Amino acid sequence: MIGMDFISFLILLVISVVVTAILHFGVRYHVVPGLTSYFGKVVIGWVGAWLGSPVFGHWFAGLNRGDVYYVPAILGSLALVVLAVDAVKTLGRTAQPAEQPEPAEHPKPM
């Protein structure tokens, strides 16, 4: 896909926009709600869609345009967006300091 044409770019962009919209707005699978978070995930989803065919292979020869195979591109977009959200959620949990239990009061001797 080194010499990607503009139509292939647009196909990957549409796949990313749709997959990310389903995850972000439909399933509400996000770290932060809002359009900024959505657009950030669209970029991540585009990279996943771009990597989909080289990583997952060339499935369903009739469902492709050039080097863009639609099913692997959808799976790649979905995989990378889910991975990114999970990574941010996990890092957010581990970055917060753990709550220390309060020490139990000892009875005073009489």
Give pLDDT tens digits for 22-67.
Answer: 999 999 988 888 899 999 999 999 999 999 988 988 887 888 888 8
Give pLDDT tens digits for 1-23.
Answer: 456 889 999 999 999 999 999 99
Give pLDDT tens digits for 75-102.
Answer: 999 999 999 999 998 888 776 665 666 6
Assess contact for 45 and 14: CB atoms under 8 A.
Answer: no
- How does residue 110 score in pLDDT terms, banded at 50, 70 and 90? low
98 residue type, one letter: A
CA distance 41 to 49: 12
0.85 exceeded by pTM: no
